Structure 1
Amino acid sequence: MSEAEVEAATLGALAEAEANCTRCPLYRDATQVVPGEGHRQARMMVVGEQPGDKEDLAGRPFVGPAGRLFDQTLAEAGIPRDQIFVTNAVKHFKFEPRGKRRLHRSPNAGEIDRCKWWLGQELKLVAPAVLVAMGATALRSLLGRPVSISSLRGKTGRIEDGIPMIATIHPSWLLRIRDSAARETERQLFLADLRRAWRLAG
């Protein structure tokens, strides 16, 4: 077991261990690791896909454009962000340089699987009553296999250890919908998914 695989006793210790992670090559180009954050005994844990450009620079999850939309939807659902735990399936930003910009690239199966160690540690430490998987990368990590969001959406699934899981879209997808009416329809579905998870969290 490597130094980066020692099980942490606290979320703070876990974040320190994550900062030294070399389990996959993504750490080489990222600015820093982006550990999960939130209530250490949260009843609801939200798992996104990976940090974006703003998250990579800030070292915090969901602080960019998708994060602002996520916060707005949480507020509308009556879910205090400080009462949940928010993290990503992959902890380093994967990108492609394009001039001065860094364009998001989806993690591959190997990167998702190598990073699952950290998500597993967060699950043990927080022990949530319900999980929200936002996006295909989060689903792949939590279930250990590729699964479509549409096949699970609207149902209550379970991960291997029995924790209930709600599958939904990632808020970044909403930002890519050009038609405002279609975007609002999808946002309402996303809102309903979050509300259902919050009710399950009790």
Structure 2
Amino acid sequence: MSLLELSGIVKSFVGVEKPVLRGVNLSLGAGEMAAIVGPSGSGKSTLLNIIGTLDTPDRGSITLDGTSLVGLDEKALARVRSQKLGMIFQLHHLLPQCTVLENVLIPILAEGPVQREAAPEVRAKRLLERVGLTERLKHRPGQLSGGERQRVAVVRALLNEPKLLLADEPTGALDQDAANNLTDLLIELNKEEGVALLVITHSPELAAKLGKIYRLDEGLLV
């Protein structure tokens, strides 16, 4: 059974003549990797936001890990985001006033003052060590390179052990060496963590390394 199943996803916006998405189908298995490529403005980010429950389709069905996402209320969607999804964006969205460790722990802190075991912090430190940031735990984002900031964002997305990691142009703001390093890291973490990986990218090199490549054009995914 697929981890992620999209069927007939349609999405339109007011003032835009044609639907941005006009019947998108997609299937991704547990632990699988895939890239979505396509021209600018083709709806790639819209599609990723729909999968990530940040937007809703006009029509169609989405199933993630056996749960239908269409029609869920905001509380249920927030639970899906916190338990099953991780998201990485082109811009890291780290809080400048927080340390690296604090930024990684934000998904936990955002849940409010509940009694927790030390496990999330232990996992955060282990993942930060895994991506080579052990010496940066108390640094703030302004003290890091672009590649380091994006690695912090990757760890933050993995903190809650998601089933699916969504990445929107994760290497777009990086130089070539940092982009190559981040690409290799994502692929290694896919194997180590068993997390499925769906990446939007303009980089042919990144797409080729993920194996399965979908192209979004004229509102359709092939």
Task: Give the alignment's TM-score, normalised by structure 1.
Answer: 0.36
Task: Give the alignment's TM-score, normalised by structure 2.
Answer: 0.33
More helix by share: 1
More strand by share: 2
Larger RCO (alpha carbons 8 Å, 6+ apart): 2
